[in-house]
């Protein structure tokens, strides 16, 4: 639903209520991102056309380039926005959980609720374009690393003694497992979500317990070396 004519704000994704040429930059950007997201989901990265977006938004090509620079820039912006929304949902679930087991359960449920609610949107981010190389592939890798960093922050809460390398490796492992399990579930939609959540929760719990145990082992003080002539 658009806002009433003459209002200074618009609901996300619409430019209703603004005169031609007077749409605020942030409102226009949101409109373009929402339309582009739909086109990327429908046509994929390869089939996406700037001209299609121009027709859908009622703007010229220079407007698109002014906001995003290129098709690649637009694609990265779409994926970044979706990832941020997903990450915020997971962080909120974790923040409301008082202990490790509750955190594991609530984050697992949130992750697969997101997938079930909008599998096309989830697949745009975690299925994504394949075979990409060069700067675009590097930017998408940076987005994945940012997500992994957020998972690492959650892990640090329960494994404060873990080394940075342990945290990073662990976060990559559980992120990859969640993505792969999500892809598998999309191909097997007859499996109830509660069972998929249970699979992932069990994995996360075991992985977290292992990380905590290993980090404590690494933090244990070394046994003193006997001095020369000490018969103990």
pLDDT at 9: 32
- The CATH code for residues 11-69 is 1.10.10.60
Domain layout of the chain by residue ranges: 11-69, 79-218
In the prediction, which pLDDT does 165 show?
96
The residue behind tokens 């999309």 is: 186
| 11-69 and 79-218, same CATH topology | no
**Model pTM?**
0.81
pLDDT of residue 15: 59
pLDDT score, position 133:
75
Q: What does 138-177 look like in DSSP terms, one character per residue?
A: HHHHHHHHHHHHHHHHHHHHH-TTS-HHHHHHHHHHHHHH
pLDDT attached to residue 134: 87
Written as tens digits, the pLDDT of the chain (232 aa) is 232 333 333 344 555 555 555 689 899 999 999 999 999 999 999 999 999 999 999 999 999 999 999 999 999 999 999 999 999 999 999 999 999 999 999 999 999 999 999 999 999 998 756 667 789 999 999 999 999 999 999 999 999 999 999 999 999 999 999 999 999 999 999 999 999 999 999 999 999 999 999 999 876 554 555 555 555 4
State the sign of the Cα–Cα–Cα–Cα dihedral 120, 180, 47, 65.
positive
Domain 79-218 top-level CATH class: mainly alpha
List, as one string, the DSSP characters of 66-94.
Answer: HHHSSHHHHHHHHHHHHHHHHHHHHHHHH
CA 61 to CA 76: how far, in whole Å?
18
Position 127 scores a pLDDT of 75
pLDDT value, residue 4: 33
**Structural contact between residues 41 and 124, judged by C-beta atoms closer than 8 angstroms:** yes
pLDDT digits (tens, 9 = 90+) for 27-56: 999 999 999 999 999 999 999 999 999 999
């Amino acid at each position: 639903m658009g806002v009433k004519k003459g209002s200074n704000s618009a609901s996300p994704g619409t430019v209703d209520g603004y005169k031609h040429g007077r749409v605020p930059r942030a409102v226009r950007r949101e409109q373009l991102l929402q339309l582009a997201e739909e086109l990327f989901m429908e046509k994929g990265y390869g089939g996406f056309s700037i001209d299609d977006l121009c027709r859908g938004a009622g703007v010229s090509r220079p407007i698109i380039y002014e906001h995003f620079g290129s098709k690649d820039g637009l694609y990265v912006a779409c994926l970044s926005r979706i990832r941020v929304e997903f990450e915020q949902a997971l962080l909120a679930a974790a923040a409301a959980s008082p202990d490790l087991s509750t955190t594991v359960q609530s984050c697992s449920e949130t992750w697969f609720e997101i997938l079930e609610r909008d599998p096309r949107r989830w697949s745009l981010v975690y299925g994504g374009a394949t075979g990409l190389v060069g700067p675009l592939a590097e930017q998408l890798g940076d987005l994945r690393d940012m997500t992994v960093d957020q998972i690492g922050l959650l892990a640090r809460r329960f494994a404060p003694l873990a080394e940075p390398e342990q945290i990073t490796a662990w976060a990559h492992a559980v992120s990859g497992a969640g993505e792969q399990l999500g892809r598998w579930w999309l191909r097997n939609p007859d499996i109830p979500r509660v069972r998929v959540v249970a699979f992932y929760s069990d994995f996360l719990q075991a992985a977290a317990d292992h990380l905590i145990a290993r980090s404590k082992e690494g933090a244990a003080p070394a046994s003193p070396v006997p001095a020369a002539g000490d018969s103990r």
